Amino acid sequence: MNTELSGVIFTYLLTLGISIPLGLYMARVFKGEKNWLDFMAPLERLIFRFSGIDAKREMNWKQHLYALLTINSIWLIYAFVCLLFQAHLPLNPDGNPNQSPDLAFNTAISFLVNCNLQDYSGESGATYFTQHFVFMFLHFASAATGIASLIVLFKALKDKVTDKLGNFWDYFVKSITRILLPFSFIIAIMLAFNGMPTSYSGKDTVIGMQGDTVHVSRGPVAAMVAIKHLGTNGGGWFGANSAHPLENPNYLTNTIELVAQLIIPIGLVFTLGFYLNKKKFAYVIFGVMTLGMLLLMIPTINAELNGNPILTKMGISQPTGAMEGKEVRFGPLNTAYWSVMTTITSTGSVNSMHDSAMPVSGFMMMMGMMINCFYGGCGVGFLNFYIFIIIAVFISGLMVGRTPEFFGRKIEAREMKIASLIALLHPFIILVGTALSSYILVNYANANWVVKPSAWLGNPGYHGFSEMLYQYASAAANNGSGFAGLTANNIFWNVSTGFVMILGRFLPIIGPLAIAGILARKKFVPESAGTLKSDSVTFGIMIFAVIAIIAALSFFPALALGPIAEHFSIK
């Protein structure tokens, strides 16, 4: 256990050691300062010239959103068509079939919105072409979209009074050429040299230890795994994701993947401090996020190390903790660390089966997705956090009897309406989706819906409810992991989670950018004695309280019916 704990501590410290200088580097990139990848400038100019884009043209927040939503609509259609006809496209050595319209609808949306909720089985449900030129392409595009959106917010906070918030295409392209592409290239090389497949060959035939003939899928796995983690995407090449021995061969690759999925979300918090020259404010935000992470992490590790109480009552020893659904290579402590980190970010990659986790662990993983702002995904983590900042500032202002101010701008009714709407949207789509699926399951259990609702769940009772709640939480948070006991590849789940993913992605981008754009045009108000300091511990405590009250408590009744009830039922 000491070795496992040392490995986890080392992994987190290594992540911080990379994230802080990476944050400084990203600030230089987006401030237009000299950096070590300036040699990419000619390629960027070529892309802009070919696309007919004037990268120096300033945009306001509405123009940013127009560009973002337009290009994402085009990518959605492209992905949907490719998946519908993938069997007829090149690079299909294994002869995988086309996806059905409802599955293609779900999959296209899933990868577009950085969710990667895979209702298909990775290696058999997609071809090398769609894995590479649809999924991997969207891994880069969706992550760059999130980063570009966040930089617009940073720009709005930086200037005193302005409606000139930079150029979306400039931010988008530089996110790929200066950050995602070079770092994923380095990560992919490390993974490839540690045994991860990197070829376009078809299935290989292997004779197993028992003499069985096994056909093993291959492909350019290392390239996809690198960007799936760096871009907090999470969609695996194989159906078992990073629990698959070819997608995560050893403890070193496991550590590399863990570090990769956190360095940009954490790094962007420090980018905020460097970009705005407000380092103390960034430390406060990082402190709140890290405290939230630890409050989810510690109970998860404790639950997994103590094992299953039912087995203990039966007299079965569990010296290594709860091992069901876990890889012996990694152990329960490292798996618990991965499970929390992948659900507080939008990565959703798994190195174990979350459906087999202890109820407390499932509770913490769901809370991470329901709160959805502790580190978070590429760019969107702080965008979600920003909503809670606005609400916290507004409440604080009311408490002291003065107009709330944040970074010299007065927060008034219009901004609060937008913030409140976005804050309530997340629990709304999760809870309504779960309620609808529960109603259908109870009232139409044996209806002929291609797959009968009674066959949706792999487990009855509390855990079955948790499987449905987890699915909508994962879709709304654009996470993509799942309790695999749920049979999700049918029309109801593909369509319902598809719409939840769209709402869960774009409204939390539109809302913060609208608030930032509106505030950026307001008259700048100098700080006074009554202004709540944004870089104080008091401000951090206020934000954490708002997150706990608004985000966490919204879900408590639903969680009480699922993982909480299950926990007490096995004690």
Q: Where are the domains of the chain?
A: 2-275
Angstrom distance (rounded) from CA 274 to CA 17: 16
The residue with tokens 């035939």 is 205
- Give the mean pLDDT of 540-566: 91
- DSSP-derived secondary structure for 396-408: HHHHHTS--EETT
Helix (H) or strand (E) segment spanning residue 266 = helix 251-276
Cβ within 8 Å of residue 290, ≥6 positions away: 374
To the nearest 10 degrees (0 to 180), the angle between helices 101-112 and 137-158 is 40
Angstrom distance (rounded) from CA 254 to CA 257: 5
- Give the mean pLDDT of 532-547: 88
pLDDT exceeds cutoff 90 at 452: no
| Residue pLDDT, tens place only, 291-334 | 999 999 999 999 999 988 888 888 888 888 888 889 888 989 99
Residue 196 CA, distance from chain mean position: 23
Task: Pick the closest to residue 116 from 102, 131, 127 (CA basis).
Answer: 131
The residue with tokens 């259908």 is 440
- Give the mean pLDDT of 194-201: 88
Residue 394's region, left for phi above 0, alpha for psi from -120 to 50, else beta, is: alpha
| Residue pLDDT, tens place only, 497-516 | 999 999 999 999 999 999 99
Cβ within 8 Å of residue 208, ≥6 positions away: 214
DSSP lists the bridge partners of residue 204 as: 216
User: Which phi and psi angles does 476 have, rounded to 5°?
Assistant: -70, -35
Which pLDDT does position 319 carry in this prediction? 85
Joined tokens for residue 478: 């654009």
DSSP lists the bridge partners of residue 457 as: 486
224 by Cβ neighbours in 10 Å (0-12 / 13-18 / 19+) ranks as buried
Residue 520's region, left for phi above 0, alpha for psi from -120 to 50, else beta, is: alpha
Residue 457 CA, distance from chain mean position: 25
Angstrom distance (rounded) from CA 551 to CA 549: 6
Band of pLDDT at residue 530, cut at 50, 70 and 90 = low
Which pLDDT does position 203 carry in this prediction? 79
- Give the mean pLDDT of 343-362: 94
Which pLDDT does position 423 carry in this prediction? 92
Which pLDDT does position 570 carry in this prediction? 87
Which pLDDT does position 305 carry in this prediction? 92
**DSSP label at 486?**
B
- Give the mean pLDDT of 468-477: 96
Joined tokens for residue 100: 């059905």
Angstrom distance (rounded) from CA 106 to CA 475: 10
Helix (H) or strand (E) segment spanning residue 394 = helix 380-400
Highest mean pLDDT among 15-24, 304-313, 520-529, 541-550: 15-24
Q: Is 130 in a helix, a strand, or coil? A: helix
Mean residue pLDDT of the chain comes to 91
pLDDT exceeds cutoff 70 at 129: yes
| Residue pLDDT, tens place only, 105-117 | 999 999 999 999 9
| Cα angle value 459/322/438 (rounded, 5°) | 20
| Residue pLDDT, tens place only, 80-105 | 999 999 999 998 988 899 999 999 99
Q: What is the Cβ-side half-sphere exposure of residue 86, based on CA atoms within 13 angstroms?
A: 33
Band of pLDDT at residue 211, cut at 50, 70 and 90 = confident
Which pLDDT does position 449 carry in this prediction? 62
